[in-house]
A and B are shown apart, each in its own frame.
Chain A
Amino acid sequence: MIAAMDIPAAGLVSSDVDSADVEVPVIVLVHPMPGFPDDARFALVRLDDDGLLHGLRSLDSEGLQFIVVPPGAFYPDYAPEIDDDTVADLGIERAEDVVVLAVVRAGATLAETTINLRAPLVLNTTTLRATQVILDDVDLPISAPLVA
């Protein structure tokens, strides 16, 4: 079991995946996200200048994108424990290789925008393998307010 940091690594994030001549790091989900069984390959795209909002953009389905954020920027005490199976699945060897991102559901207003703390995306920046981990902690909400 390891604790993970939550700051996306430089070089991993692309500013533009639509441009054909830019080589984009391809993130492979070792298990599909629930509800999206056919999407395994994604790219991480920066969506703002502050490095908070990122797009996890499917390379398998045109137009499919999730907004993800480093959860620590909104919930500083959030420190999910990553189980040994996930460590093995993602080939994690060093804690500093691990990036945790949380899926955000953008509502009509910031107050209606929620963050999924129960099932964060865990990414190994070395192997570029990732998965949406379902945490055992039943107190972690699937829809927590992004800002309290």
Chain B
Amino acid sequence: MLVLSRRVGESVVIGAGTPDAVTVTVLEVRGDVVRVGIDAPRSVAVHRAELLAELADANADAASPSENTVASLSQALRERR
């Protein structure tokens, strides 16, 4: 892992010279919170790592229920109407 020290207002560029270059700028440091600004092209999705991990888990939990599960869900929803 590359480790860099940066001051407020300074940036790093990832993928410089490519169409996918991303610029990360340190905006503010307050206590243990660092605010960063991320300038990325639209094709590059930027998300908080923990939210992505949570979503990946949620998607994995939801994926490929058994036919029986789908049938009982369908039945339960019908009975509710």
| Other-chain residue from A63, A103, A109 in contact with B59 (beta carbon distance below 8 A) | A103
Scoring A residues 93 to 122 as 1 if CB is less than 8 Å from chain B, else 0, what string do you get?
000000000011110111001001011000
Assess the A104–B62 pair: CB atoms within 8 A: yes
Mostly helix, strand, loop or mixed at chain A's interface?
A: loop
In the assembled complex, the Cα of A79 lies from the Cα of B20 at a distance in Å of: 32
In the assembled complex, the Cα of A104 lies from the Cα of B72 at a distance in Å of: 14
Knowing A85-B42, A103-B62, A110-B80 touch, does A47 contact B70 (C-beta < 8 A)? Answer: yes
Knowing A35-B55, A106-B70 touch, does A134 contact B47 (C-beta < 8 A)? Answer: yes
Contacts of B4 in A (CB 8 A): none
Answer yes or no: A16 CB below 8 A from chain B CBs: no
Q: Name which of A33, A35, A65 has the most chain B CB atoms within 10 A of its CB.
A: A35
How many chain A residues touch the partner (CB < 8 A)?
Answer: 35
The number of chain B residues touching the other chain, given as a range, is: 20 to 34
Assess the A106–B59 pair: CB atoms within 8 A: no
In the assembled complex, the Cα of A68 lies from the Cα of B18 at a distance in Å of: 37
In the assembled complex, the Cα of A104 lies from the Cα of B76 at a distance in Å of: 14
Knowing A48-B74, A67-B70, A106-B73 touch, does A34 contact B80 (C-beta < 8 A)? Answer: no
Answer yes or no: B31 CB below 8 A from chain A CBs: no
Contacts of A103 in B (CB 8 A): 58-59, 62
Closest 4 CB pairs of A and B: A35-B56, A110-B76, A105-B62, A34-B56
Enumerate chain B interface residues (CB-CB to A < 8 A).
Answer: 42, 45, 47, 51-65, 69-70, 73-74, 76-78, 80-81
